[in-house]
């Protein structure tokens, strides 16, 4: 019998890669997507489509009630989404307070409930500068807690913790993944904006991998 694992799956390119990596490794996957009141649901629709294609038991969890407690982020409020590179100072406005601790706690609870031994999520080194809850010290501390918080120990797995978006994409391209099935843009318009930090980092990763992003962009 395959080992059960939960995947925190946003629909973005990092979690898209991790989902397929874990799938190819033979895990019995239970993807979790969270609606926490972010500005758009386009990523969620992409996530749903991929899970349907892979015939995975996808759960979309509505936790939008927490949005009223997280209004300091440009992803969950009326604050304008900043443009520029991911490591620019203004990108700190996209930090959703305590987001990964909240999502990991729920995913760990789900893992215990269904008898899964692992929770996969997409922390990577490209996020370390802006997001404290993607840094190794946070991941390691959460992993320690996940092993003692319940009668059943759960391991938090972050395959790309020391890799960046360029390395993640390189791995995914080697797996033959179609990144047209992922959505990264912080804006939920028909086409990706190409200007927000998430788009800039994504486009940079494709350029440095010597290939073209299959997504359509507004100014392309």
In a domain, 26, yes or no: yes
Q: What are phi and psi of 182, to 5 degrees?
A: -125, 155
| Domains in the chain, number | 1
pLDDT greater than 90 at residue 3:
yes
Domain limits for position 44: 4-81+96-180
In a domain, 205, yes or no: no
In a domain, 14, yes or no: yes
In a domain, 215, yes or no: no
40 Cβ contact partners less than 8 Å away, ≥ 6 residues apart? 187, 188
In a domain, 33, yes or no: yes
In a domain, 71, yes or no: yes
3-class secondary structure, 182 = coil
In a domain, 156, yes or no: yes
User: Could you give the CA distance from residue 154 to residue 150 in angstroms, rounded to a whole number?
Assistant: 8
- Stronger pLDDT, 149 or 78, i.e. the higher one: 149
In a domain, 218, yes or no: no
Q: What CATH number is given to the structural domain containing 156?
A: 3.40.50.620
Neighbours of 180 (CB within 10 A): 11
pLDDT digits (tens, 9 = 90+) for 83-129: 655 555 556 666 667 888 999 999 999 999 999 999 999 988 876 56
Instruction: Provide the whole-model pTM.
Output: 0.90
Mean of per-residue pLDDT scores for the chain: 89
């Amino acid at each position: 019998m395959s080992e059960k694992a939960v995947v925190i799956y946003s629909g973005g390119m990092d979690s898209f890669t991790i989902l397929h990596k874990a799938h190819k490794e033979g895990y019995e996957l239970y993807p979790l997507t969270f609606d926490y009141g972010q500005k758009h649901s386009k990523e969620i629709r992409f996530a749903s489509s991929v899970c349907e294609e892979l015939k995975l038991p996808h759960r979309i969890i509505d936790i939008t009630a927490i949005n009223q407690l997280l209004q300091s982020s440009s992803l969950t409020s009326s604050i304008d989404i900043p443009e520029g590179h991911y490591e620019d100072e203004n990108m700190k406005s996209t930090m959703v307070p305590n987001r990964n601790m909240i999502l990991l706690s729920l995913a760990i609870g789900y893992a215990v409930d269904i008898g899964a031994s692992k929770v996969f999520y997409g922390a990577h080194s490209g996020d370390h500068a802006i997001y404290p809850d993607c840094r190794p010290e946070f991941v390691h501390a959460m992993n320690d807690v996940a092993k003692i918080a319940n009668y059943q120990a759960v391991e938090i797995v972050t395959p790309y913790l020391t890799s960046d978006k360029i390395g993640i994409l390189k791995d995914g391209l080697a797996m033959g993944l179609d990144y047209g099935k992922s959505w990264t843009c912080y804006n939920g318009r028909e086409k990706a904006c190409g200007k927000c930090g998430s788009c800039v980092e994504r486009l940079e990763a494709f350029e440095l991998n010597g290939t073209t992003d299959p997504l359509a962009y507004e100014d392309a």
